[in-house]
Chain A
Amino acid sequence: MSAYWKANQRRLAPWMFLAPGLAIFALYVIIPIFQSIWYSFYDWDGLSPPVWIGTANYVELTTDPNMVTSFWNNLIWLLLYMLAVPLGLFIAIFLNQTVRGIRIYKSLFFFPFVISQVVVGLIFSWFYAPNFGPLYLLIEQVTGKGVALLADPDLVTYGIIAAGLWPQIAYVMILYLTGLNNVAPDQVEAARLDGAKGWRMLWYVILPQLRPATFIAVVVTVIGALRSFDLVSIMTNGGPFGSSRVLSYYMYEQALSEYGYRMGYGAAIAVVLFAIMMVFISGFIWKMWRDETER
């Protein structure tokens, strides 16, 4: 036994270090994923015995108007959340100077990410609130008629996304600041000697070196957009009348909330969300794998 160990120590040791993490990951993440997929084939209220209904939940999903709303809202979230990447980049470039006290400014710009999302949502909902919210009063001053963003079924999703972008831009900014520190100064010098500046410098010299940072920023932003539960829950509860619903919140409403006792249906929604995420996650993992094997 110990001879085998001595011979194969180098090969086995990494697996032994990974074992506890893998075990917990399997128990709390992998197995529940399969359990959720399994539950989605049942009609179950969480307490009575489950009833097998096959794919009936998925068939119902295709005709459910709430599902269509949630799906579109998730798409809007995905598209608009990507604004965080260029905005974060520009703020990072702006802060990447050696001016006195720049570290304080960097910390202040990073601050939104540190606050709990629940607090961000709450403060923004007061910001938008009719009659006393600053944004409402400002719009009223400028246009004469106040617009309560969170009460308008057409504008509410954009209001929540704006609240979500604030911490997300801060997160992306930090990723790019780190990336900018690793930009090779000799390449920048060489490009300057060749007459590059401004946009051309950014596009042809800086951005290619920021590729790893951009990759992580995109991954994090996509996952964040699809996971947007906290803000929707705090700011509008999915309202008004369901117009700001997203898939993650709809799943919670159907399975776990005060008015939802449909575990099977909620699980089906969760599986749909998982499938969407898997498209992106597979893409990311494939790219990472390709980069690693090339190395």
Chain B
Amino acid sequence: MVHKKTGALALVAALLLTTAASAQQRVLKYNADFDPLPLAAFEALIADFEAANPDVDVQLNNFDHEGYKTAIRNFLTADSPDLANWYAGNRMAPFVNAGQFMDVSDVWEANGLGDSLASAKASMTIDGKQWGVPYTYYQWGIYYNKDVYKSVGVEVPKTWAEFVSNCEKFSAAGIDCLTTGTKALWPAAGIFDYMNLRTNGYEFHMDLTAGKIAWTDDRVRATFAEWAKIQPYTTANHAALEWEDAAALMVQGKAANYVMGNFAVGNFKAGGMTNDTLGFMQFPEITPGIPRAEDAPTDTIHIPAGAQNVDDAKKFLAFVASADVQSKLNVGLSQLPTNKNSTVPADDPFLVAGFETLSTAYALAQFFDRDAPAEMAKAGMEGFQQFMVQPEELDNILNRLEQVRGQVYK
């Protein structure tokens, strides 16, 4: 026999109980795209946040890293989460300009982030407002083989003129001054970024990648003129080499310098280099007086404009921006905290050097293929590779890039 009345009573009681229970915890929805290692580090961070804020339940929805880049365009318009991962600089500009990210300048004000995250602030700022919080980045710079330097008898260069004259000495000894493997195109963009940042400065570089400056401009030609000085001393046939093959050349002592990101240290060490034989230096100054900007691809967290739980999302951003949390997180990520008051493991000289480099930088660029829109980035990187192989074709290259600029930035 079906006991309808008791059943109804029990159901209502159960429903009342469940609503009472869920009313005690606020939900924070977070969409992310972590690979397995960073995911573990972030789950620890979320556990710490929930311990500090027991009335908030953070629900992490982790996407596949590449699939996220297309998924984000969907979920920012329909069914936004409260927090979302993305990147800084011109890469976040499309979403900011479409009004899909929330202005979080108040979080920056309230927590003094303008000071502790000073070097990353410019890459998070559009129109004078901040649009997210950075939590990690890694440095780019020149890695060099100390043994090769010793055997040829040159010192670590302090200026660009010294770097070029060192190149001549390396070439006389039959060693490539600069090695790179441009088969995948992006290593050439790293070299261009630094040449441009050092020749013309951060604001010019940002305007160039945002499409506001013509590629045929004299200042762009000046960058390529400086690059032409070391082009003859670059590894031949780099267009057929993967970046790992070029790293092998430096490990074997056939090349002296490599403009690369810190993730390459793993490769150098696997090839046999040690903290004593592998060196790191900041890219030398070319035009005197230009404030030192660096390439530091930054990962960030944003609040979508359609977020439901904005207060707790802002609390989460403040939490992620704090010094201790960033120190702990970046140990798990093997990268650098963006907060200048954080600490890095003292036993890794490259992380220590990188932290110093980035925390004192004037501003941070995000790397050419994140700063420039995808099509411009592809055309630009092909142009850089072509310049490195056929420097006499510079006029054609710049005209072509200018043509692409007219089509891409509409």
Contact = CB atoms under 8 A, between A and B. Distances in A.
B385 A239 contact: yes
B183 A131 contact: no
Contact of B378 (A148, A236, A259): A259
B237 A151 contact: yes
B374 A258 contact: yes
Interface in A249-295: 253, 258-262
B240 A237 contact: no
Contact of B240 (A150, A258, A259, A262): A150
A150 B185 CA distance: 14
B183 A239 contact: yes
B208 interface: no
A128 interface: yes
B224 to A, nearest CB: 15
B236 A130 contact: yes
Report, nearest first, the 5 A-B pairs whose CB atoms are least far apart. A148-B237, A240-B239, A259-B378, A151-B240, A241-B386
Interface in B178-210: 182-185
A47 B374 contact: no
A260 B374 contact: yes
Given A130-B241, A148-B240, A153-B389, A236 B375 contact: no
A167 to B, nearest CB: 22
Given A128-B240, A130-B236, A148-B237, A253 B389 contact: no
Nearest to B184: A237
Interface string A172-197: 00000000000000000000000000
B29 interface: no
Contact of B245 (A129, A242, A260): A129
A17 to B, nearest CB: 40
13 contacts: A130-B240, A130-B241, A131-B237, A131-B245, A149-B240, A151-B239, A237-B183, A239-B382, A241-B239, A241-B386, A242-B382, A259-B369, A261-B374
A47 B375 CA distance: 16
Contact of A240 (B73, B374, B375, B385): B385
Interface string B371-392: 0001101100011011001100
B146 interface: no
Given A47-B70, A150-B240, A259-B375, A240 B245 contact: no
Contacts of A129: 240-241, 245
Interface in A194-245: 236-237, 239-242
B397 to A, nearest CB: 9
A9 B202 CA distance: 79
A239 B239 contact: yes
B239 A150 contact: yes
Interface in B48-68: none
Given A239-B183, A239-B385, 7 more contacts: A131-B249, A151-B389, A241-B239, A242-B382, A258-B374, A259-B378, A260-B375
Nearest to A258: B374
A144 interface: no
Nearest to B375: A259
B183 A241 contact: no
Interface centre among B184, B245, B369, B383 (most CB of A within 10 A): B245
B169 interface: no
B400 interface: yes
A65 interface: yes
B238 interface: yes
Contacts of A237: 183-185
A253 B382 CA distance: 13
Contacts of A46: 70
B378 A253 contact: yes
B182 to A, nearest CB: 8
A236 B240 CA distance: 8
A236 B385 CA distance: 13
A131 B128 CA distance: 51
A174 to B, nearest CB: 33
A276 B253 CA distance: 50
A239 B241 contact: no
Given A240-B385, A242-B382, A253-B378, A130 B237 contact: yes
A8 to B, nearest CB: 51
Contact of B386 (A125, A130, A146, A240): A240
Interface in A42-82: 46-47, 65
Nearest to A239: B239
B238 A151 contact: yes
A259 B245 contact: no
B249 A260 contact: no
Contacts of B390: 153
A252 to B, nearest CB: 12
B382 A262 contact: no
A234 to B, nearest CB: 11
Contacts of A128: 240
